[in-house]
Amino acid sequence: MKQPLIELQDVTVAYARHPALHHVSGTFREGSMTAITGPNGAGKSTLLKAIMGELPVAEGTIKRPGLTARDFGYLPQAAEIDRQFPMSVADTVMLGAWRRSGAFRRIDPDVKAKARKALSAVGLEGFGGRIIGSLSSGQFQRVLFARLLLQDAKIIVLDEPFTAIDARTTRDLLDIVCRWHKEGRTIIAVLHDFDQVRAHFPETLLLAREAIDWGPTSVAMSSRNLLRARAMAESWDEGAEVCEKDAAVA
């Protein structure tokens, strides 16, 4: 078995004492490819941010031995990017080389070549000079993937990368995700399409404010579990205060 890369122990993450997810335990192993799925508001995005260390955990621990923020390549959910911003496609992609070029250093020719290669890998050859405002949303998502390619991160974290993206683009980008997996990178992706998850992701975390199941996809995505996830989402009480598990301890 590969090394555990990220270990969650009884993790609770809360916004102003309202837990967005609670008592989640499990492991992401090095080189694993995990889908996170569950109803809206299940805490999926929250979990990703906690894993990357962007949100503090209220209880429990997340162990990330030796990892820093820079080991993560993150694609936020419907990235809050102003697409009318006057940036060229090439400049957007080259942001992915931030670690190398930093804030002040000259962008060396090697980075430019890599950016061109990344663009052709996502099917946007020759788009470098275009302004991002002139792209379709599918094309823009391809640009963000090209930026991830340049980032060359050990762990790739994707939050609903294919929501509202056309089928052809989804297929192309999913290929890239699978290639990352083959290169030995660790993939963590929030997805809604169950067929996609079953076809490509060996492991699944089914989340509904707590982990319904976390393991091999065929087991985690059993119809019984899926029903439970839905029921939990529907019976969720926004006004709930103290969690029973904590109350039992207290």
Partner 1 sequence: MTLHAIFISPFVDYGFMRRALVACFALALGSGPVGVLLMLRRMSLVGDAMSHAILPGAAIGFLIAGGLSLPAMGFGGLVAGLSIALLSGVISRTTSLREDASFASFYLTSLALGVLIVSLRGSNIDLLHVLFGTILAIDANALYLVGGIASLTIIALAVVYRPLVAECFDPEFLRAVGGRGSLFHFLFLLLVVINLVASFEALGTLMAVGLMMLPAAVARLWAQSLPTMFAVAAATAVVSGYLGLVASFHFAVASGPTIILTASCIYGVSLILSPSGMARRLYSRPHLKA
Ligand X SMILES: Nc1ncnc2c1ncn2[C@@H]1O[C@H](COP(=O)(O)OP(=O)(O)O)[C@@H](O)[C@H]1O
Cβ contacts of 2 within 8 Å, gap of 6 or more: 29, 30, 31, 32
Q: With left for phi above 0 and alpha for psi between -120 and 50, is residue 160 left, alpha or beta?
A: left
Q: How many CB atoms lie within 10 A of CB 169?
A: 20
Secondary structure (3-state) at 51 = helix
Look up residue 241 and give its two tokens.
């205060």
Residue 46 lies near ligand X (rule: CB under 6 A)? yes
At closest approach, how far in Å is the CB of 44 from ligand X?
3
At closest approach, how far in Å is the CB of 14 from ligand X?
9
Number of residues this chain uses to bind partner 1 (CB under 8 A): 25
Radius of gyration of the chain (CA): 19
Q: Which residue has the tokens 């963590």?
A: 188
Would you say 103 or 247 has its CB closer to partner 1?
103
Give the one entry of Mg ion, ligand X, partner 1, none that residue 20 binds, where binding means its C-beta sits below a cut-off of 5 to 8 angstroms depending on kind. ligand X
At closest approach, how far in Å is the CB of 27 from ligand X?
20
Residue 42 lies near ligand X (rule: CB under 6 A)? yes
Which residue from 27, 45, 88, 222 is in contact with partner 1, where contact means CB under 8 A? 88
Which residue from 41, 60, 123, 215 is in contact with ligand X, where contact means CB under 6 A? 41
Could you give the CA distance from residue 149 to residue 124 in angstroms, rounded to a whole number?
13
Residue 123 lies near partner 1 (rule: CB under 8 A)? no
Which residue from 10, 61, 69, 137 is in contact with partner 1, where contact means CB under 8 A? 69
Give the one entry of Mg ion, partner 1, ligand X, none that residue 240 binds, where binding means its C-beta sits below a cut-off of 5 to 8 angstroms depending on kind. none
- Tell me, letter by letter, the H, E, C secondary structure of 73-108: EEECCCCCCCCCCCCEHHHHHHHHHHHHHCCCCCCC
Look up residue 189 and give its two tokens.
């992706």
Indicate the DSSP class of residue 2. Answer: P
Binding range to ligand X, per CB under 6 A, among 42-50, 65-73, 83-91, 145-153: 42-50
At closest approach, how far in Å is the CB of 77 from Mg ion?
5
Look up residue 72 and give its two tokens.
């993560």
Residues that bind partner 1 (CB under 8 A): 52, 54, 68-70, 72, 74, 76, 79-82, 85-88, 92, 95, 98-99, 101, 103-104, 131, 151
Residues that bind ligand X (CB under 6 A): 15, 20, 40-46
